[in-house]
Each structure stands twice: as C-alpha cells, then as structure tokens.
Structure 1
Amino acid sequence: MLIVGLTGSIGMGKSTVAGLLRARGVPVFDADAEVHRLYAAEAAPLIEKAFPGTTSAGQVDRARLAAALAKDEGQFRKLEEIVHPLVHDAEQRFLNDAQRSGTAVAVLEIPLLLEVGRNEHVDVVVVVSAPAHHQRARVLERPGMTDDRLDALLARQLPDAEKRLRADFVVDTGGTFADTEAQVDAILTALKSKPAHAFVRDWQLP
C-alpha cells in the first residue's frame, strides 16, 4: 500500500483536494479533524493538566488554549508532546485498517507534514498550493480571521515556495475546479508506478 502525505499551507485548498481523493475511493485521514476530536475527548484532561484553565465541560476551550499559548511560543512544544502521539496512534489504526481492506493508496492529510518531519514516514508528498493573493483572500473570509492572525499562522509554516520544492507532486488550486480535478486525476495515475515502502517500515502493527 502506498502512503501519500497531503499537505500545504493554510488556505491553499487541502480540503478540496482531499474531497476529490475521497470521491475517487481513496481513504484520507484528516489530522486536523482528529485533533478536534481529541480536544473533546481523551486529550482534554491531559491538556487541562498541562495548561490549567483551558478546558470547559470536559472539552478544550480553543480560545483559552490559544491565549495560553500566546504567552509563550515554547508552550507549543508542550502541546505537541501531548497531542502528536495520540494523532499518530489514530493514523496507525487508519493505515492498518486500509491495508487490511486491500487499499492501494491511503492518504494522510497533515498541514505541518514538512515542518515536523513527517514526510520521512510517507512514500510520496503532495503539496497543495495557490497564488498568495488567492490564499490570503480565502483565509480572511473565515470567521474571526484577521491579517495579523494570518501572518502569525504563516510564520509557523514553511514558505509555500519551499514546500513546492520539496513536493513529489504539486496541486495548484488557483485555477478552476476542473483544473484541480484534472491535476488530481493525473497524480493518481502517476502514483500507480511509485514504490511503496513506508507502511511496512513505519506503520505496520505486529
């Protein structure tokens, strides 16, 4: 089974590309969605212990957590040490389920794939990209988003140009939806000839 890492900076269109892959029968694990689930479940008491006062009714209050993190950039590492192992376990279960079902290609959608070195544990890296003006316009349409907040988010991510250089494939979502579809279909065709090593090396459960 070939493992694809799907990534890209905020506002580039990862969710659109993930949706196109799912529509073509490719299973996709959404790391962001798993974090949201964890914040309302098993991660909440762990985060409350590390960051007192950041939960409410047994769930992480994202605004309170963001405020706690804003006080000290080093606190992000503490949060990652709590959340990342839980996400990894969920990814491993997802990939082993996909392997048992006979899936040829499985996708891990991880926004910070390159930033945290997760590209070493996939066979192929697909970066979703778009012109900077498209990206900024898309993100600023989100509720509560401001230019300053967007700039702070981008500062924690690799520049788009560097991500493109490190990609095996790039999907440019700056054009029409049909253009994006065509790029996804071309990549799926190209993946058929790619060697698969990551699952057995890094993910297979005993």
Structure 2
Amino acid sequence: MMILGLTGSIGMGKSTVAAMFRAAGVPVFDADAEVHRLQGPGGRLLAAIEALHPGTTGPGGVDRVALGRAVFGDAAALGRLERLIHPQVAAGQRAFLRRHRARRLVVLDIPLLFEKGGWRRVDRIAVVSAPAWMQRRRVLARPGMTQARLARILALQTPDAEKRRRADFVIPTGRGMATTRARVRHLVACLSRTPGRYEGDA
C-alpha cells in the first residue's frame, strides 16, 4: 500500500483536491471530518471536552465558536485539547488503513501534516498550493474571517514555501480546475501502478 499524505495551508483548495482523489476511486481519510464526527451530536469526545471547557458543548455537539474562544491564544489549553483529540483521530486513521489494506493507494488528508508530525507516517507527501494573493482572497471571502484572524491562523501553520520544499508532489489550484484535476489523475495513475519511488517531478 502506498500512503499519500495530502496537506496544504488554509485556503489552498485541499478539500477540493481530496474530492478529486475520491472521484478517481482512491480511498481518502479526512482527519477534519473525523474530528467533526468525534465532536458532533453523540460524539465520543463531548463529555471530555465539556469537562475541560464547560459550556462549549450541547445537543448539537461542540460549539466550535465557543471552543475556539476558549483555546485560541492559550497554548496550554490548546495542548490539552489536542492531547484529547489526536489519539482518537489516530485510532480512526488506523481503522481506515486496515479497511483498505488491499488497495495500492490511499490518501490521508491531514491539514497539519508537517506541524504535528504526521509526515513521518506516510510514504509520500502531496502539497496543495496556490499563489498567496489567491489564498488570501479565498479565505477572506469566508463568513466571519478577518485579516487579523487569517494572520493568526497562518502563524500556526508551516509556510507554504516550506511545505512545497518538503513535498514529493505539488498540486496547483491556481491555474484552473482542469489543470488541478489532470495533476491528480496523473498522480493516481502513477502511484497506483508503480510501487516504490515515483519518477515524476514534484
């Protein structure tokens, strides 16, 4: 099995690229979706999160805005929350890999692949990237997003240039959907067919 780690900074189009891998028939583990499931209605982590931060959960699951206010800018609180969540996400990831162990290629969609050490557990890394001006335009179009909030988020993420430098493959999302889709299909064809080192350019 070839495990491809898929990552990219905020606003780079990683979710769109992950959907393209799925459309090409590749199983994709979405770390963010797993977190949402754990924190959603009836989620396994609700009681523990409520114990850490009272008033941040309810019948609909975690109130992400309230939880964000509780931990943002507080490294100790964020660390406690991550120590609660990450083992559960890792367990979901292991179950995913067991389910798909007969497949030649699977994708682990992990936003903080470099920041949290996930790069050590994949065979190859694909980074989704777009020009900085396009990234900024996409993110600032989101409801509730501000320049200051974007700056804080980017400060917590490995810079895009560093991600591209460490990547085995770069998937561009700033040149149109057709170009991005062609790159994904090319990677799927090559990585599904040939074990070992992919000989294409990064």
TM-score computed with the length of structure 2 as normaliser = 0.92
**CA offset at residue 184 of structure 1?**
1.0
Residue 55 in 1 paired to residue 19 in 2?
Answer: no
- Cα distance in structure 2, aligned partners of 1:120 and 1:26: 21
- Name the aligned partner's letter for residue 76 of structure 2: G
1:114 deviation in Å?
0.6
Q: Deviations over 1:9-53 (max 9, x none)?
A: 011011111111111100101111111111120111111111222
1:74-118 per-residue CA deviation (whole Å, 9 max, x = no partner) reads 21111110000010111111111011xx31111110000011111
Tell me how far apart the structure 2 counterparts of residues 58 and 83 of structure 1 sit (CA, whole Å): 18
Match of 2:196 in 1: 195
Aligned partners of 2:72 and 2:78 also within 8 Å? no
Task: Give the one of 82, 96, 99 matched to 2:98.
Answer: 96
SS in 1 for 2:100: helix
In structure 2, give the amino acid aligned to 1:94: F
Change in Cα spacing, 1:71 to 1:19, as seen in structure 2 (3 Å) is closer
| CA gap 1:71/1:166 in 2 versus in 1, 3 angstroms | closer
Q: Which structure 1 segments of 5+ residues have no match? A: 197-206
Structure 1 range deviating more: 73-82 or 84-93: 73-82
Matched, 1:68 2:77: no
Tell me the distance in 2 between the aligned counterparts of 1:130 and 1:20.
Answer: 16
User: Quick one: structure 1 residues 56 and 92, their matched pair in 2 at CA, closer, same or farther if it must change by over 3 Å?
Assistant: same
2:200 is matched with: none
- Poorly superposed stretches of 4+, deviation over 4 Å: none
Partner of 1:148: 148
Match for residue 48 of structure 2 among 42, 46, 49: 46
Gaps of 5+ in 2: 198-202
Contact 2:24 2:188 in 1 (8 A): no
Q: Could you tell me how far apart the structure 1 residues matched to 2:60 and 2:21 are? A: 34
The residue type paired with residue 67 of structure 2 is L
Q: Which amino acid aligns with 1:84?
A: H
| Distance apart, 1:58 and its partner CA | 6.4
Distance 2:2 2:73 in 1: 41
Q: Distance in 2 between matches of 1:105 and 1:133?
A: 33
TM-score by length of 1: 0.90
Which residue identity is paired with 1:166? R
The CA RMSD over aligned residues, in Å, is 1.4
* Identical counterparts, % of pairs: 52
Secondary structure of the residue aligned to 1:85 is helix
Give runs of aligned pairs for residues 112-151 of structure 1, distance below 5 A. Answer: 112-151=112-151
What is the match of residue 168 of structure 1? 168
Secondary structure of 2:143's match? coil
Number of residue pairs the alignment of both structures matches: 194
Over 3 Å counting, the alpha-carbon distance change for 1:20 and 1:59 in structure 2 is same
2: distance between equivalents of 1:71 and 1:159? 19
> In the aligned structure 2, how far is the partner of 1:139 from the partner of 1:73?
24
SS in 2 for 1:106: strand
